[in-house]
Structure 1
Amino acid sequence: MSEPGGWQRLDAKVMVIGPIGAFRQFLFPAVIALIGVGTQQPRWALIAAPLIVLGSIVLGVIPWFTTRFRIADDQLVVTTGLVNKLRLTAPLDRIRSVDLEATVLHRLLKLEKVEVGTGVDDTMIELNALSVDQAAALRTRLLSGRTAPTDRHTAGEAPAETIGTARGVNDLVTFTPAWARFAPFSLGRLAIALGFLGATSQFAGEIRIELDGDVLERVLATSLTLIILGALAGGLVLWIVLSMVAYLIQWWDMRLFREDGNLRLTRGLFTTQSTTIEEVRVRGVRLRETALLRTVDGGELHALVTGLEDSVHAVLPQAPTPVVREIATDILGDETPVKVGLEMHGPSARRRAMVRNVLVLSPVIAPVVALVVLLDGPWWPVVAVAVAVVPVGCLLGRMEYAHLGHALTPDHLVAGSGITSRTRTILQRDGVIGWVVAQSFFQRRRGLATVVATTAAGAEQVVIRDIPLPAATAFVRAATPGIVEEFLAA
């Protein structure tokens, strides 16, 4: 809805979305409060319930009356607030992302939420909710008005003349439901599931189940080993099903494509999301293959981006390794850094990795010692754990060394890292804005160093650990000629 002066309001259907969202926020604490108070004074529950509903309606409709936005003088201006007025201003050339999101309710009402990021901090300018056409028009207008800084050494970004050189739409990859087979091999999802299981187990302890005597006898007569194996098998099947369902819900209908110089990712079954990454701000990629994913030839791909809240941005779900490498090559515009072999760091780095992992594992001996002392038990478990720490630590050290390495191509630097996971970080040489070469006391004794390439993208640094000092110096000089010469001369 437009107003004089070019001002626009949110869609009027926000007065449906808003109260429902406000009520959802009040619902859980309100139910807890009503249960606690209602058992003692039921009359208060009858009074509070309609007040909660009325309060949700009032808070939900306020944004429609108080939120306005417009684009004027190459700036996005948003005003909001009833008592405390807030005015947000974002120059179009500082806008780094325009993302669209639609929950099931949004989609039923043909609405979308627009989130605008400027890269200044983690704050996003949010407009919830706009009509689908209004959101698409705003996104197009905002993205077409962006330009990039021209000073790479202050912003870590590419010059403005490279923006918008690619026009039209070009599909890179679309979702394949068969990829859901990779979901059970993600430890991140498993950690979430175990956390949920731990939370629900607290409530399960309060539930009393009385079994019939015959049933209880038959259960007790069953082999304990069979019971444990059955429980593990049931848990495994449940985990596989739930992880695959969650994967499909999150990534359903995923599409990665180029659109007018941008990488755009759309996905979601119930809640749809559309994320736009300005391709000129992609300074590299990170390919990661965990130990579990490698068993099924799977991997993950992230883009290293400047000027976004999430600067390490997932551009693919867990997917087949050939697909991951193909998309990485497409984004980089060069397959060499994806396929190039890494230069190993030598025997000193291998020994250091093995010693480091043994020392990392050694604290597990302390709780075993504590249990033996408290229970006045035998000391052989302490000896067994202490003896096991050495070969396990050495094995982990050898795995870390196998993933360790570095390489240099005409346009990119490559760093290998990881212990159980294998990670390859690829950064544009133009994206390096500084170097740190550090040596600990033990590294100096072995002639090794840690090289850190600082950048405005991703985690803001790419670390190459335990590289021989002469190789480190040569690598830095070759990667960015002229930057470190005066320091080396000194």
Structure 2
Amino acid sequence: MSRPDPAAPAPRERRLHPMSWLFVLLQQLRQFIVPLLALLLFGRGDRNELWSLIGVGALALASLWQYFTYRYTVGEDGLAIRSGLLERSLRVIPFARIHNVALQQNLLHRLFGVAEVRLESAGGARPEAEMRVLKLADALALEALVRRHATAAAEGAAATPAAPLLRLDLGEVLRLGLVSNRGMIVVGAGVAALSQTNPELLPRLIGSFGRRLLGYLDVHRFGPLEYALGGAGLLLLAVALLRLFSVALALLQYHGFRLSEHGRRLTVERGLLARWRTSASRRRIQAWTLREGVLHRVLRRRSLEVDTAVVDRHGGDRGLRELAPIAPPHACDALIEHLLPQARWNALPWRPLPAASGWRLFLPALPVTALVAALAGWRFGAWGLLALAWLPWAAYQARRQAARLAYALNDALIAVREGWWSRHWRFAELDKLQALQLVRGPLDRRCGTATLWLDTAGRGAMAPPLRIRFLPLAEARALYAELSRTLARRPLRW
């Protein structure tokens, strides 16, 4: 172990960017923007608006205070961050503890040539450090420094030059917008926010639209066929508008997407107006998800996502999640083979599960279809019973899903394959498994089956569970015992 040279100069303390107080202030001003605009536009305000101005002044002083009291020092083995004047704090963050470095730039950041830096650790509910904001060159240098220390610690060598693994051109980004549901998610979030800020507005709008629609329908006296055609037309229009909105969001969020490899670290860059850049060590990846929805299959595309040890409990894009938002199947397979060469992804020994379990996948469709048919029959009479025509399709879909159920296990990886209409593959390295659980519900006890749950350090909010369902009891116990012995022999890597 090398000792510090007493003659070497001490690392100098550094400040944030001189305009950092402005970005902190703008971020805190969101809740005050409406009364402030009202006061500026109309020239007068009530007591609440006066208090809002006082709050704005206090926030401005707090932002300036943070700039003048925030210092950070880059040492040989980590960062030291000082903050506060009356109540001072010193936080030392070793480079070995930093698992993810995220750089974010909105449009204003890009105009000023600055970036917001977040340093993440495994399982942390909050970042180890948030630097708002640094010069872009300083932010990139800090990211490179963390990457270089992580690479040297893991491999005993200097970091290798960045190697691009995947790029998305404009056509791929447009395909991503078509297959994603981001438009529906954003609209749903907007409706939820509107209902919280003004609970009366949304019911009033829905009630007004409903009264006009019912009045129009009563005047024209449409029959059941016209009702069906009109409803289908409105549904198609809504789907088309949401897909166009999803395409616009995909262009904003994923334009210029680039996945690159720096030694043992993966880095993702993306964004049109706002740029987002994050990096994480490959060994922090806990589990993988390969998806193939209906539109994916039409366009012959898949998506590849990962769960990392960095947990985001507040939502957002803190950790590395999407390695391939959309790509051809062979590109996804090549990416898995490159990052997990020991897993032999293309030669996994898949073991099918009993196809007779299809009726259990069909069971949830029965009460839902019966309820919809009852409501439709009450409103439209005998025509409403046509909803029962969904049952044969649900039975066929459940049968096909059961035929595709399978799992695979080798000396490095365990994988589960599920779905038919919309498919996914969920897999993890054996060295990343933390816990096993064998569960038997009432139907399992009657059918002589069990479900094996496998737990890792991190799981994405939208990721399917890593589980093997409908295993025959003897096979489930044998698999549980085999994995237990394997986990007992191997150290946990995360």
Place the TM-score, normalised by the shorter chain, in its bin.
0.7 to 0.9
Residue in 2 that maps onto 1:212? none
**Partner of residue 187, structure 1:** 181
**Matched letter for residue 472 of structure 1:** A
Whole-Å Cα distance in 1 between the matches of residues 258 and 29 of structure 2? 33
Query: Is 1:175 aligned with 2:175?
Result: no
- Give, in whole Å, the separation in 1 of the partners of 2:372 and 2:230: 29
2:29 — aligned with what? 23
Spell out, residue by residue over 1:236-282, the C-alpha distance to the aligned partner (whole angstroms, 9 max, x if none): 55334322121011011111011132111111111111111101223
> Could you tell me how far apart the structure 2 residues matched to 1:119 and 1:169 are?
24
Aligned to 2:3: none
Name which of structure 1's ranges 424-433 and 86-95 shifts more when overlaid on structure 2. Answer: 86-95
* 2:205 is equivalent to residue 205 of structure 1: yes
- CA shift, 1:164, in A, is 5.9
Q: Distance in 2 between matches of 1:307 and 1:335?
A: 23
User: Is 1:470 the counterpart of 2:474 in the alignment?
Assistant: yes
Aligned with 1:243 (options 246, 257, 261): 246
Q: Equivalents in 2 of 1:42, 1:483: separation in Å?
A: 66
1:299 aligns with 2:305: no
Contact 1:79-1:87 at 8 Å conserved across structures: yes
Shift in Å at residue 24 of structure 1?
3.3
1:327 aligns with 2:331: no
**1:80 counterpart residue number:** 83
1:318 aligns with 2:329: no
The one-letter amino acid paired with 2:448 is G
Deviation (angstroms), 1:51? 4.1
- Relative to structure 1, the CA distance from residue 363 to residue 84 in structure 2 (aligned partners, 3 Å threshold; closer, same or farther) is farther
Write the distance in 1 (CA, Å) between the matches of 2:486 and 2:176: 45
Matched residue SS, 1:202? helix
Worse overlay, 364-373 or 321-330 = 364-373
Query: Which residue of the other structure, out of 104, 126, 131, is the alignment partner of 1:101?
Result: 104
Q: Does 1:456 align with 2:457?
A: yes
- The two structures, once aligned, show a CA RMSD in angstroms of 4.2
Aligned to 1:346: 354
Maintained 8 Å contact 1:264/1:276:
yes
| CA-CA distance at 1:335 after TM superposition | 7.4
Q: How do 1:28-427 residues align onto structure 2 when only pairs under 5 Å count?
A: 28=34, 30=36, 42=45, 51=54, 54-72=57-75, 74-81=77-84, 85-124=88-127, 125-146=129-150, 161-162=154-155, 167-179=160-172, 180-193=174-187, 196=190, 202=202, 205=205, 235-309=238-312, 313-333=321-341, 336-338=344-346, 340=348, 342-350=350-358, 354-359=359-364, 361-363=366-368, 365-366=370-371, 387-388=388-389, 390-418=391-419, 420-427=421-428
Alpha-carbon distance in structure 2 between the residues aligned to 1:384 and 1:59: 64
Question: Taking structure 1 as reference, are residues 191 and 22 closer, same or farther at Cα in structure 2, changes over 3 Å only?
Answer: closer
C-alpha displacement at 1:467, in angstroms? 1.5
| Mapped partners of 2:233, 2:355: distance in 1 | 47
Indicate if the aligned counterparts of 2:373 and 2:384 stay in contact, CA closer than 8 A: yes
Q: Percent identity?
A: 19
Deviation at 1:445, TM superposition (A): 3.1
Decide whether aligned partners of structure 1 residues 48 and 220 sit closer, same or farther in structure 2, where only a CA change above 3 A counts: farther
Contact 1:182 1:319 in 2 (8 A): no
Residue number in structure 2 paired with 1:157: none
Cα deviation digits, residues 449-486 of structure 1 (max 9, x gap): 2112233244697211112233334444555655579x
- The aligned residue for residue 12 of structure 1 is 18
Question: Quick one: distance in 2 between partners of 1:97 and 1:67?
Answer: 22
Separation of aligned partners in 2, 1:366 and 1:185: 30
How many residues are aligned here? 453
Distance 1:313 1:344, change over 3 A: same
- Whichever residue aligns with residue 475 of structure 2, its letter is A
1:400, distance to aligned residue in structure 2 (A): 3.0
Give the letter aligned to residue 332 of structure 1: L
Q: 1:94·1:147 contact (CA, 8 Å) conserved in 2?
A: no
Deviation at 1:348, TM superposition (A): 3.8
Distance 1:234 1:476, change over 3 A: closer
Q: Is residue 292–residue 423 contact of structure 2 (8 Å, CA) maintained in 1? A: yes
Corresponding letter in the other structure for 1:16: L
| Distance verdict in 2 for CA 1:447–1:11, change over 3 Å | same
Provide the rounded CA distance (Å) in 2 between the counterparts of 1:476 and 1:208: 58
Structure 2 SS opposite 1:437: strand
- What secondary structure sits across from 2:273 in the alignment? coil
Deviation string for 1:295-340 (max 9, x for gaps)?
A: 2222211123334546782222233333322222222225732464
In 2, the alpha carbon distance for the partners of 1:147 and 1:166 equals 6
* 2:4 alignment partner in structure 1: none
Q: 1:35-77 CA distances to partner (integer Å, 9 max, x unpaired)? A: 9xx89x7465885675465345323322211222224473423
Mean CA deviation greater in 172-181 or 12-21: 12-21
Q: Which residue identity does 1:144 align to in structure 2?
A: R
Q: Equivalent residue of 1:400, what SS?
A: helix
The equivalent of 1:151 in structure 2 is none
Distance 1:311 1:454, change over 3 A: farther
In structure 2, how many angstroms separate the alpha carbons of the residues matched to 1:389 and 1:238? Answer: 26
1 CA distance for matches of 2:45 and 2:354? 75
How far apart, in 1, do the equivalents of 2:441 and 2:220 lie? 59
8 Å contact from structure 1 (residues 184, 239) kept in 2: no
Using the TM superposition, name which of 188-197 and 177-186 deviates more: 188-197
Given the superposition, is the C-alpha separation of residues 31 and 248 from structure 1 closer, same or farther in structure 2, using an over 3 Å criterion? same
What runs of 5+ residues in structure 1 fail to find an aligned partner? 149-159, 210-215, 486-490
